[in-house]
Amino acid sequence: MPAFTTDVRDGIAVLTFDLPGEPVNKLTAGVKAEFEQAFSALLADPSVRAVILASGKPDTFIAGADIEEFTRLETPAQAEALSRGGQEMIARVEASPKPVVAAIHGACLGGGLELALACHWRIATDHPKTQLGLPEVQLGILPAAGGSVRLPRLIGLRAALDIILAGKTERAAKAFRLGIVDELVHPAILLDTARRAAGRLLRDGRPSRPPRGTGPAGWFLDRTPPGRRIVYAQARKGVLARTGGHYPAPLAALEAVEAGLEQGPRRGFETEHRRFGELAMGAVSRELVRIFFATTALKKDDGGSGARPLPVGVLGVVGTGFMGAGIAGTAVAQAAVEVRLRDAALDRVASGLKAARKLLDGRLERRRITRQEHQRLVALMGGTAGWEGFRRADLVIEAVFEDLDVKRKVLAEAEAGAPHAIFATNTSTIPIGRIAEGAGRPGRVLGMHFFSPVDRMPLLEVIPHAGTDPDAVATALAFGRRMGKTVIVVADRPGFWVNRILSPYLNEAGHLLAEGTPIEAIDAAMTRFGFPVGPVALLDEVGLDVGAKAGGVMHAAFGDRLRPAPVLARMLEAGRQGRKNGKGFYRYEGGKKAGPDPAVAGILGVQPRAAISAETIQQRLLYAMLNEAAMAMGEGVVRSARDGDMGAIFGIGYPPFRGGPLRTIDHLGATRVLDVLRGLENVYGARFTPAPALVEVGMRNGRFTDEG
Ligand code: 3H9
């Protein structure tokens, strides 16, 4: 079956791309050859005067270059050749004497957008599935099929850098505002509009696009060499601050953009393929590409049973605190599901609804949704102080106070009030099996552990207990994904996965503090390692009371190995709860973090010691986490190293370029990790005793993750 089919009417050919046997259109070596053949035939055909490029897939125009092909590249020269080949194919479109119109519906990403940028007119459907962007830097590479050169010329330097350096994807309406697309239409009239546009191009010639730039300042910054120099310097500074120098791709993209604008397209294209050659073979890109495929694979996860998820049309949320409101608001915003919000008192219901609605208001303000969509979504939410409306609920998520008896009581009431629903408890510390004890329908009970703030944190842990039905697991997984989460299934063990591996890491930060290590030295060491925030700042964010409670649960479950340092208890005695009461390890001024609080040393009763090296801090904290990850993996807390690594990246912000904790062990080598742990054990005792699973992997010179 060919990937391209042609339909010629009235001198206008529609060239439809529909890659056989694949869910999305992507640009492979084979596709390139077929495209060139089909395109040459159209150019040679005297009956064809203009070409429309369209997609035969329901929801994708073109998803970009084939990422799988990157994993098969063996040398930088091969990678360079791949980029050069893409550039040549796209250049032929740009140079075509017959006008080419891109008719875009669905994802138009990476190489797909680069191809569209070379067309002479772009029409996109105003549909949520139509997204345009250059996500390459998120894969550790740069737009290398001409995008780094063409986009800045089309929409201006600053607007292009905003997309390219962050690997952003924009909705069609925003892409239209930016000037990436020329027309925005309803999907039903996409092809007709494209035909009319082709006719116009034939009649009136190709449009010359006025240079963009807002006002004199915009003109100066986008259109003059001295202005652009300022933009390049600021962009470089911004990238370094954001990436800590760990990610080479945005800097390479910046270099290509600069070369393309300052020295001409040819130098820009050369820089693109040269830097692509280096980056595609580099360690960072390899890890980021693995993450892409792991995330994609997780989208299909049904829990391993083959069970089908049940439809969720009505969601009940019990508990209207920060978590409950966050779950309700995120569910409505992402899944457009009807939500019933319940709490014991009506004023709490009202404030929960208000908080949930705020999430929708934010989306409206950021123009993620239209006013009509906003109204429709707001109308989907309702509240009650009883159980009215819960009879129709398919799924109930409970986010009440973290107390076993309270949760059991809610479960019993929900079983009566929502007789058909699956019941999910959002807990971070209570075993799901204990909550399900005494349930009338224990098979319908499981855990859904969301992270705070729910709308922003990308991970969800789904936790079946021993008796949970497989279809309940599949339903929670599918619904979690509808909420936009990356979802992993974890075992019903204390701390589940994320808090389990976080626990010894935060404890170790506590030990360092108790020894008098400066707060800023600890946090700086870990952000330098690549974490988005340091462990002490994280404690402040989570809340010291919450941290202390979770630490106590882990200590009770796992014994002395996870005994917390006494610092949190001291801080709590001094009335410090972290950011939420404006008093933590850090000072807060007007709600903003304002540097470590010098009073903390006094509260902890420690003498600030001369700073120890960042390497020592990193080693103690990191190895505590790596060891726990190996131990939990050995206990079957996660089903695979892939899930464990994704959980750490999306749940804690473990540095993506390092691939996750189990991947880090493999990079370092299990035997080396064992040696370091034994050294730490000699100095600090049994909390660093190597995990049995690590010893076992070390003995057979094995790995947790696959090679590559
Ligand atoms: C690039 O273009 C570089 C150029 O600048 C220069 C080169 C020289 N390649 O996510 P889904 C697969 S870099 C290979 O579940 P959705 C995916 O693995 C590229 N495979 O669907 C999955 O496979 P399977 C820049 C791809 O509807 C299946 O398609 N582009 C690619 O939730 C369905 O995917 C990107 O980074 C690809 N490019 O989301 C875009 N794309 O079924 C990456 C998809 O066998 N893609 N697959 O497991 C996406 O963001 C989403 O897949 C998309 C659809 C939004 C398109």
Over the stretch 150-193, which tens digit does the pLDDT of each residue have?
999 999 999 999 999 999 999 999 999 999 999 999 999 999 99
Which pLDDT does position 585 carry in this prediction?
A: 97
Q: Is residue 452 domain-shared with residue 521, that is, in the same domain?
A: no
Domain contains 102 = yes
Q: Which atom from ligand 1 is nearest to the alpha carbon of 66?
A: 9
Which pLDDT does position 303 carry in this prediction?
A: 87
Q: Is residue 470 domain-shared with residue 535, that is, in the same domain?
A: no
Q: Is the CB of 65 under 6 A from ligand 1?
A: yes
Which pLDDT does position 46 carry in this prediction?
A: 96
User: With 80 as the cut, is the pLDDT of residue 611 above it?
Assistant: no
Which pLDDT does position 211 carry in this prediction?
A: 62
Q: Is residue 234 domain-shared with residue 339, that is, in the same domain?
A: no
Domain contains 300 = no
Highest mean pLDDT of the ranges 504-513, 540-549, 591-600: 504-513
Distance CA 19, CA 25 (A): 5
Which of 435, 456, 489 is the endpoint of a domain? 489
Percent of the chain residues topping a pLDDT of 90:
93
- According to DSSP, the residues that pair with 397 across neighbouring strands are 317, 424
User: With 80 as the cut, is the pLDDT of residue 273 above it?
Assistant: yes
CA of 474 relative to ligand 1 center, distance in Å: 24
Calculate the alpha carbon distances from 67 to 139, 484, 584 in Å: 9, 22, 45
Give the pairing of strands 169-171 and 131-133: antiparallel
Q: Is residue 348 domain-shared with residue 251, that is, in the same domain?
A: no
Name the pLDDT band for 212 (thresholds 50, 70, 90): low
Residue among 231, 201, 227 nearest 216 (CA): 227
Going by CA atoms, what residue is nearest to atom 5 of ligand 1? 143
How do residues 329-386 score in pLDDT, each as one tens digit?
A: 999 999 999 999 999 999 999 999 999 999 999 999 988 888 999 999 999 999 999 9
Domain contains 307 = no
CATH code of the domain covering residue 44:
3.90.226.10
Q: Is residue 506 domain-shared with residue 485, that is, in the same domain?
A: no
Q: Is residue 14 domain-shared with residue 47, that is, in the same domain?
A: yes
| DSSP structure string for 349-368 | HHHHHHHHHHHHHHHHHTTS
Name the pLDDT band for 264 (thresholds 50, 70, 90): very high
Distance CA 479, CA 460 (A): 11
How do residues 432-463 score in pLDDT, each as one tens digit?
A: 999 999 899 999 999 999 998 999 999 999 99
Overall size of the chain counted in residues? 708
Place of tokens 């050859």: 33
Q: Is residue 82 domain-shared with residue 169, that is, in the same domain?
A: yes
User: With 90 as the cut, is the pLDDT of residue 653 above it?
Assistant: yes
Going by CA atoms, what residue is nearest to atom 34 of ligand 1? 296
User: With 80 as the cut, is the pLDDT of residue 564 above it?
Assistant: yes
Domain contains 86 = yes
Average predicted confidence (pLDDT) for the chain: 95
Which pLDDT does position 107 carry in this prediction?
A: 98
Place of tokens 């079946």: 464
Which DSSP helix (H) or strand (E) runs through 493?
A: none
Going by CA atoms, what residue is nearest to atom 25 of ligand 1? 110
Distance CA 316, CA 310 (A): 15
Domain contains 309 = no
- According to DSSP, the residues that pair with 446 across neighbouring strands are 424, 464
CA of 64 relative to ligand 1 center, distance in Å: 7
> Stretch 54-62: mean pLDDT, rounded?
96
Name the pLDDT band for 392 (thresholds 50, 70, 90): very high
Give the three-class secondary structure for 438: coil
> Stretch 545-551: mean pLDDT, rounded?
93
Domain contains 245 = yes
Domain contains 348 = yes
Place of tokens 């973290």: 402
Q: Is residue 452 domain-shared with residue 513, that is, in the same domain?
A: no
| DSSP structure string for 507-575 | HHHHHHHHTT--HHHHHHHHHHHT-SS-HHHHHHHH-HHHHHHHHHHHHHHHGGGGPPPTHHHHHHHTT
Going by CA atoms, what residue is nearest to atom 17 of ligand 1? 296
Domain contains 298 = no
366/98: higher pLDDT: 98
**Residue of 183, 272, 398, 461 with catalytic role:** 461
Domain of residue 115 covers 4-281
Q: Please check whether residue 305 is in contact with residue 288, taking contact to mean a CB–CB distance below 8 angstroms.
A: no
Q: Which atom from ligand 1 is nearest to the alpha carbon of 86?
A: 8
Q: Is residue 504 domain-shared with residue 475, that is, in the same domain?
A: no
Could you list the beta-strand ranges (E) of 43-118: 50-55, 60-62, 100-104, 107-109
Place of tokens 């894969």: 139
User: With 80 as the cut, is the pLDDT of residue 214 above it?
Assistant: no
Name the pLDDT band for 263 (thresholds 50, 70, 90): very high
Name the pLDDT band for 218 (thresholds 50, 70, 90): confident
Phi and psi at 299, nearest 5°, equal -65, -20
Name the pLDDT band for 213 (thresholds 50, 70, 90): low
Q: Is residue 642 domain-shared with residue 692, that is, in the same domain?
A: yes
Amino acid at 650: F
Which pLDDT does position 207 carry in this prediction?
A: 80
- According to DSSP, the residues that pair with 21 across neighbouring strands are none
Which pLDDT does position 502 carry in this prediction?
A: 97
User: With 70 as the cut, is the pLDDT of residue 141 above it?
Assistant: yes
Q: Which atom from ligand 1 is nearest to the alpha carbon of 68?
A: 14
Structure tokens at 504: 């010894």
Which pLDDT does position 708 carry in this prediction?
A: 66
Q: Is residue 240 domain-shared with residue 382, that is, in the same domain?
A: no
Show the DSSP H helices in 95-224 as ranges.
111-118, 147-155, 157-164, 172-178, 190-204, 215-223
Structure tokens at 209: 């696009």
Q: Which atom from ligand 1 is nearest to the alpha carbon of 276?
A: 8
Q: Please check whether residue 464 is in contact with residue 471, taking contact to mean a CB–CB distance below 8 angstroms.
A: no
CA of 63 relative to ligand 1 center, distance in Å: 5
Active site residue 413: no
Name the pLDDT band for 495 (thresholds 50, 70, 90): very high
Give the pairing of strands 395-398 and 314-318: parallel
CA 702 to chain centroid = 30
Which pLDDT does position 209 carry in this prediction?
A: 73
Residue among 327, 329, 332 nearest 314 (CA): 332
How do residues 470-487 score in pLDDT, each as one tens digit?
A: 999 999 999 999 999 999
Q: Is the CB of 82 under 6 A from ligand 1?
A: yes
Domain count along the chain: 3
Name the pLDDT band for 655 (thresholds 50, 70, 90): very high
Residue among 212, 196, 194 nearest 204 (CA): 196
CATH code of the domain covering residue 381:
3.40.50.720
Give the three-class secondary structure for 188: helix
CA of 288 relative to ligand 1 center, distance in Å: 13
Going by CA atoms, what residue is nearest to atom 56 of ligand 1? 63
Name the pLDDT band for 210 (thresholds 50, 70, 90): low
Q: Ligand 1, from 19, 67, 273: best to mutate by most atoms within 8 Å of Cβ?
A: 67
